[in-house]
Amino acid sequence: MSSDHAAWTLRREIPSDTTIGSELVDELLAAMTEREWPSADLFRTQLAYQEAIVNAIRHGNHSDPDKTVTVEMSCDDQRATITITDQGDGFDPNDVPDPRSDELLEVPGGRGVLLINEIMNEVAYNDRGNQIKMTKIKGANPPADEDDDE
């Protein structure tokens, strides 16, 4: 059943540049594909990564070219983990308003944290709030909403 590939890992410190940040996920997706992860897991992992890296660069580091973001990723046959750390002041994820509330429905932005929590299996922040650790478990996707008949 399992092909028992060795765990794949990557650790990079990158500048506060969303283009560079976005390219890194391709290596993780290749490692997951090699380990025969389902396409739905690849999509969800890529989406969560993109949201988190953009948040770290834009909101954490305020796109400051003198600040960096550390990206750590690992993948084996059952788990993919992404840790992203910025050099910003951090935030309290509990203070992020729910973008589904009536007064925020038409406000752009503010959906990344909610989205990440919905599509990843485990999400944790450090005490300072400048690091996110996200884990995807192979084949274990949150239940779809009732109106999601795909």
Q: Output phi, psi for 125, to 5 deg.
A: -115, 150
Mean pLDDT of the chain: 88
Q: What is the mean pLDDT of residues 103-121?
A: 81
Token pair 């750390």 in the structure block, residue:
85
pLDDT of residue 71: 97
pTM: 0.87
Instruction: Express as a percent the part of the chain with pLDDT over 70.
Output: 87
Dig out the tokens for 48 from the structure: 């969560």
Give, in degrees to the nearest 5, the angle at Cα 28 between 26 and 31.
110
Residues facing 135 on adjacent strands: 81, 122
Whether 66 has a pLDDT exceeding 60, the answer reads: yes
Rounded to whole angstroms, how far apart are CA atoms 78 and 139? 8
pLDDT tens digit string along 130-148? 999 999 999 987 655 444 4
Domains in the chain and their CATH numbers? 8-137 (3.30.565.10)
Task: Report pLDDT for 107.
Answer: 65
Report the pLDDT value the prediction gives residue 142, as an integer from 0 to 100.
Answer: 60
Predicted confidence (pLDDT) per residue in 12-64, tens digit: 999 999 888 888 999 999 999 999 999 999 999 999 999 999 999 999 999 99
Task: Please tell me the predicted confidence (pLDDT) of residue 31.
Answer: 97
